[in-house]
Amino acid sequence: MKRINLCVGVLGWLAFVTVATQCVAARPQTAAAQGAAAPSQSPATQGATQPQTPASQNAAAKPQTAAVVQPKVITLEGNLEADDLIRVEVDHLAEWSATNNPAKLVPYLNGLAIRGNYPQEIHASQNHLHFHLRITAQNKKAWVDLLGAPEGIRRPVAVTVGLEDQSPFDTAYDDTNKRPLTVISPWYGVIALIIVLATLAQFLWLARTTSIIREPGPKVAGKLRPYSLGRTQMAFWFFLIYASYVVIWLITDALDTITASLLGLMGISAGTALSEALIDSSRNTAQANKLQDLTAEKQTLEQTIPELQSQIASIDAKDSLTPEDQMNRDTLNKQLQDNRTRLAQVIQQIQPLAVAGAPEASMGFLRDILCDENGYSFHRFQIFAWTIVLGIIFVSSVYNGLTMPEFSTTLLGLMGISSGTYIGFKFPEQQ
């Protein structure tokens, strides 16, 4: 019985080994058979078993195409302001930099490329860039569009980066999520405003209480002299250029902003005021000298007439007159008559000179600069009107374009003609 059980166990173990050996040997043969069968198929068989259409070809090709990297601005650090530093984080910048040059990236503000404003530092592996925002001749027009015609000290703008003359990157700071662009630094703006307003207030106080823009001369019955058109025009252009220079410097940090035409305009206004002062001075000097001469002559005549009368009286007092006495008396009578006639003429000449030489009191700002001795005059109104028109053009250019205007030679010539006409009429006006 034991022998039978032993034989059955040995036969079972042999059967298990045989089956396992056959399974292991069958696997490589199956793979080889499959590999050999594939190339043995004919083109007709392949076409019949696996038809390939354009749609199936595109479907098979899609998994093999690499995904296009789309960079996107996701973070912005720093203050958006000219001459300041910002840090821009760009998603997928490292992948994009593998096939592109990040050194050619520039900021885009409200869709405007800040040309030539390339990164100051590039950290492509960390996906961020550093920019130093600068206003240069290359990108000045874009900055003027961004900063011109300000409505406050800040203006919201969309921010991104990109290559020049290409579409910028996508950004988290688009039109629905704008960042504030500082137009004027608050601290510098407040300080500059205080300085300009303090200067203007001081000038207005001096204009009302002193002769800084008035005709020279002493006060009349406690009132100041009239305002001078030439001096007022010179002060007008001075404050316009002064305030505009400060504003442009605050916004653009530019220092060389005064144009050649402005120098010509300031020269015209200064020449007008100087010519007016010379005419007034020469008029006053001539009148003073003439009045002084006539007054001295009057005093001499007033002293001579009593002496002549006394000499005539002494001759008449004689009991008998010789022919010589009669001749002397006739001569003295003629001298007395001539002196009296001359004294009357001198007194008549002194009266208008005394009235003309008397200082005039102010009648109000507009009347002082628009009126002469005959009332309102057109030549004064002409120079006043053109000064206001050019002043409006000046302010508009500074506000919208952040630059001093470049007046043409025609406009400067027109202003010069107006000033020359005023000076020309000033001569007979002072006579």
Q: What's the whole-model pTM score? A: 0.66
Nearest to 82 by CA among 402, 406, 405, 404: 402
Of 388, 382, 377, 366, residue with least CA distance to 419: 382
Q: Are the beta carbons of 78 and 85 closer than 8 angstroms?
A: yes
**How many other CB atoms sit within 10 Å of the CB of residue 57?**
10
Q: What is the 3-state secondary structure (H, E, C) of 202-265?
A: HHHHHHHHCCCCECCCCCECCECCCECHHHHHHHHHHHHHHHHHHHHHHHHCCCCCCCHHHHHH
Q: At what angle do helices 260-316 and 323-357 cross, to 10 degrees?
A: 150
If one counts every other C-beta atom within 10 angstroms of the C-beta of residue 122, the result is 17
Spatial CB neighbours of 401, under 8 Å, sequence gap ≥ 6: 144, 148
**Is residue 203 within 8 Å of residue 238, measured between CB atoms?**
no
pLDDT computed for residue 115 by the predictor: 95
Examine the pLDDT at 430 and tell me if it is beyond 60: no
In the structure, what pLDDT confidence band is assigned to residue 284 with cuts at 50, 70 and 90?
A: low
Label residue 292 exposed, middle or buried (CB < 10 Å: 0-12, 13-18, 19+): exposed
Tens of pLDDT, residues 252-275: 988 889 988 889 888 888 888 888
> Confidence class of residue 203 from pLDDT cuts 50, 70 and 90?
very high
Residue 208 C-alpha from the chain's centroid = 29
User: Cβ distance 75 to 89 under 8 Å?
Assistant: yes
pLDDT in tens, 356-391: 555 577 888 999 999 887 789 898 899 899 899 999
What are φ and ψ of residue 326, in 5° steps? -65, -40
Length of the chain: 431
Give the residue carrying structure tokens 């390939």.
52
Residue whose tokens read 């300085």: 195
Evaluate if residue 54 carries a pLDDT over 70. no
Residue 221 pLDDT level (bands cut at 50, 70, 90): low
Strand ranges inside 92-224, DSSP E: 105-109, 112-113, 121-123, 128-132, 154-157, 159-163, 170-171, 179-182
What would the mean pLDDT of 3-30 be, rounded to a whole number?
44
CA distance 369 to 303: 45
Looking only at the bridges linking them, the beta strands covering 375-376 and 371-372 are: antiparallel
Stated as kind and residue range, the H or E segment containing 137 is: none
CB contact burial 152-179 (16+ within 10 A = b; e otherwise):
eebbebbbbbbbeeeebbebbbeeeebb
If you write DSSP's letter for every residue of 347-390 in order, what string do you get? HHHHHHHHHHHSPPPP--HHHHHHEETTEE-HHHHHHHHHHHHH
Residue 87 bridge partners (DSSP) = 77, 130
Q: Would the pLDDT of 299 be above 70?
A: yes
Q: At what angle do helices 229-252 and 186-209 cross, to 10 degrees?
A: 170
pLDDT in tens, 79-131: 999 999 999 999 999 999 999 999 999 999 999 999 999 999 999 999 999 99
d(CA 133, CA 76): 13
Cα separation of 214 and 226, whole Å?
A: 6
Q: What is the pLDDT of residue 362?
A: 85
Residues in Cβ contact with 264 at an 8 Å cutoff, skipping those fewer than 6 apart: 407, 412
Which whole number is the average pLDDT over 295-318?
Answer: 84
With a cut of 90, say whether residue 415 has pLDDT above it.
no
Angle at 332 between CA 327 and CA 337, to 5 degrees: 130
For the chain, the average pLDDT equals: 81
Instruction: Find out whether 277 and 238 touch, Cβ atoms under 8 Å.
Output: no
For the segment 19-50, what is each residue's pLDDT rounded down to a tens digit? 444 444 444 443 433 443 334 344 333 443 34
Q: Does 256 or 60 have the greater pLDDT score? A: 256
* pLDDT band (50, 70, 90) for residue 216: confident
| Tokens representing residue 273 in the block | 């005021």
User: What SS3 class is residue 56?
Assistant: helix
CB 399 within 8 Å of CB 149: yes
In this predicted structure, what is the pLDDT of residue 272? 86
pLDDT tens column, 122-146: 999 999 999 999 999 999 999 999 9
Residue pair 194/252 in contact by the 8 Å Cβ criterion: no
Domains of the chain and CATH, by start: 72-182 (2.60.40), 229-289+360-430 (no CATH)
